[in-house]
Amino acid sequence: MQRRELFSFLSSSLKGEGKVEKDFIIRPPYYGDINAFDTECLNCDGKCATLCQEQIIIIGEDKTPRLDFSSSGCTYCDDCAIACEPNVLRVEDKHLIDAGIRINESNCLSWQGVMCFSCKDPCLEDAIEFKAMFMPTIDQQKCTSCGFCISRCPSYAIDITQIKKEPENNE
pLDDT tens-digit readout, 80-89: 999 999 999 9
* Domains identified in the chain and CATH numbers: 1-16+98-164 (3.30.70.20), 27-96 (3.30.70.20)
Q: What pLDDT, on a 0 to 100 scale, did the predictor assign at position 38?
A: 94
For residue range 55-73, what is the model confidence (pLDDT) as tens digits? 999 999 999 999 999 999 9
Q: What is the 3-state secondary structure (H, E, C) of 100-163?
A: EEEECCCCCCHHHCCCCCCCCCCCCCCCEEEECCCEEEECCCCCCCCCHHHHHCCCCCEEEEEC
This prediction's pTM: 0.80
